[in-house]
A and B are shown apart, each in its own frame.
Chain A
Amino acid sequence: MSRLKMTVNGVAIDIDVPESRYLSEVLREDLRLTGTKIGCAEAECGICTVLVDGIAVVSCVFPAFKAQGARVETIEGLSNNGRLHALQQAFLDHGAVQCGICTPGLIMTAKGLLDTKNAAGEAVTENDIRTALKDSYCRCTGYQSVINAVLQASGEEVAPYIPETGTPGTAVGKPRPNPNACPMPGYFQSTPRLRSASTACTQC
């Protein structure tokens, strides 16, 4: 056990923990800040991202004692007196949260970008956002809503993307021709061309 001192979301922390802890373990288990989620636990998915001295790192493989004396920021530190941070509000506005497991990581990664750009007095472009969020995985949203949300939080006006819907009770969307479909009459257009010789019709 050793003393680990750092500030977490502006609060000075001084705790006795084993030197073998990862930062994610200290945050989640010792400090009970379970807003930081764990996905892969091997630096791959970005879900566990927190900021250490303003820099986005994956806390699942980041030794806690590497953050000795550092300023750590997690998702819990974002809202202020019940008022959401611009990023949180933007994620809500754009429907950028579905199951939500990736959200803390995405928001912290985006915060790292916005803070750095703000400090340098530079504008944030969509390309910056795409670059910063590359390799942060989300299996639900399809990313565009996330990117729009971060753009909004950076000060740009972005209309939320609302998918086209049809009249209730009718088909949704239009059928698209399948380029691999069998051209023979009698086969459904969506049936893929039969490949194996034994099952193929003579024309295929």
Chain B
Amino acid sequence: MVSYWKHYHTPETVEEAIAALRGYDGRARVIGGGTDLLVETRRGLRRPFEAIVDASRIAGLNTIERDPQHIVIGCGVTHTQIVNDPNIQRHGACLSESCGVIGGPQVRNAGTLAGNVAHALPAGDGSIGLLALAGEVEITSTAGRRWVAAKDTFVGPGKSVIDRHREVLTRLRFKPTGTGEGSAFHRVMRPQGLCLPIISMAARLTVDGDRIVAANVSMGPVGPVPWFAEPVAQALIGGPATDAQYEKAVDVALSNVTLRTSKYRATEEYRRTMVRTYLPIILATAAERAGAKR
């Protein structure tokens, strides 16, 4: 049996996790469910690690909580927990929908949202869902804790500002959607399991009557990192919640993104068509959930 790591730690507190990582001085790696990292390691895409620090069993970080302003998700929370949470279904629908399409049930039973965000793939579905909710992540290191906007953690494909050899993404949070707000997610993918989406998109809208007063849109893979689509949001804000307005948003989206042809997934043209087809549907769904008058 090949060994892909030598030591395996399951710390029960954040302090223990950070101390273990410090002890290995960059030679250890944090995991959540391991469904991303350990599959890559097993495929020989990564060099074996000296040690694994498993962040999924830290006490207090296995639950979904509410603080006065946010829904807060611990790093040990699995996709299954998120999908089954009634609060997130109602107040963070796009996140619930995005975590619900990841892998199969067994992968969702172990894989975490923290791992999806920390992995920083350009089309990580959970990341796309969290981005549209303008989510934030808490990073804990020897220097202490800091909250960072999720969109600012992505540096490049698979590259994150989180030093996954020394720091732990401890919690994720977002402001729940309330009255006049709604969100939605959709992705297009070939049914191939271990493979990335052709296109994955989400939106959160705030409406006042038939007007869109606030918007967030996220898309991937449309560049090196999951895209927090500010120009698309700007194109929506102030306008009516109508198909014509959504078409404008699509035009803005398509003029801002770099869609690629990938050998086994899809052509650029196909991706373009999918954005044109699904972005208006996502926006209309979010608006409808927000209670927009048509």
Contacts and interface: CB of A to CB of B under 8 A. Distances in A.
Whether A and B are associated in the same complex: the answer reads yes
Interface of A: 2, 18-21, 25, 29, 41-44, 46, 49, 55-58, 61-63, 65-66, 68, 109, 131-132, 134-136
Contacts of A134: 104-105
A135 B104 contact: yes
B75 to A, nearest CB: 14
Contacts of B194: 42-44
Contacts of B1: 18, 20-21, 25, 29
Interface of B: 1, 3-8, 10, 34-35, 38-39, 42-43, 52, 54, 56-57, 80, 103-107, 109-110, 193-194
A62 B6 CA distance: 15
Nearest to B52: A63
Given A19-B5, A58-B107, A109-B105, 14 more contacts: A19-B7, A20-B5, A43-B106, A46-B106, A55-B80, A57-B106, A57-B109, A61-B39, A62-B110, A63-B8, A63-B34, A66-B34, A66-B56, A109-B106
A58 B106 contact: yes
Nearest to A25: B1
A187 B133 CA distance: 60
B10 A65 contact: yes
Contacts of B39: 42-43, 61
Nearest to B49: A20
Nearest to B54: A66
Nearest to A108: B106
| Chain B interface main SS type | mixed
B165 to A, nearest CB: 18
Given A43-B194, A63-B8, A18 B3 contact: yes
Nearest to B42: A42
A105 to B, nearest CB: 9
18 contacts: A18-B1, A18-B3, A19-B5, A20-B4, A21-B1, A43-B35, A43-B107, A55-B80, A58-B106, A61-B42, A65-B10, A66-B34, A66-B56, A131-B105, A132-B105, A134-B105, A135-B193, A136-B106
Contacts of B10: 65-66, 68
Nearest to A41: B42
A103 to B, nearest CB: 16
A25 B2 CA distance: 10
A109 B1 CA distance: 26
Contacts of A109: 105-106
Given A19-B8, A20-B8, A29-B1, A63 B106 contact: no
Given A63-B8, A63-B52, A66-B34, A57 B103 contact: no
B3 A20 contact: yes
B8 A61 contact: no
B19 to A, nearest CB: 18
Given A42-B194, A44-B194, A135 B6 contact: no
Contacts of A29: 1
Nearest to B107: A43
B103 A43 contact: yes
A109 B104 CA distance: 11
A42 B43 contact: yes
A56 to B, nearest CB: 5
B248 to A, nearest CB: 37
A56 B3 contact: no
Given A20-B5, A21-B1, A46 B104 contact: yes
Contacts of A42: 39, 42-43, 194
Contacts of A49: 106
Contact of B103 (A20, A63, A131, A135): A135
A66 B54 CA distance: 8
A58 B39 CA distance: 11
A62 B107 CA distance: 10
Leading 8 A-B pairs by shortest Cβ distance: A135-B104, A20-B3, A19-B8, A65-B8, A58-B106, A44-B193, A61-B38, A42-B39
Contacts of B5: 19-20
A68 B56 CA distance: 13
B8 A55 contact: no
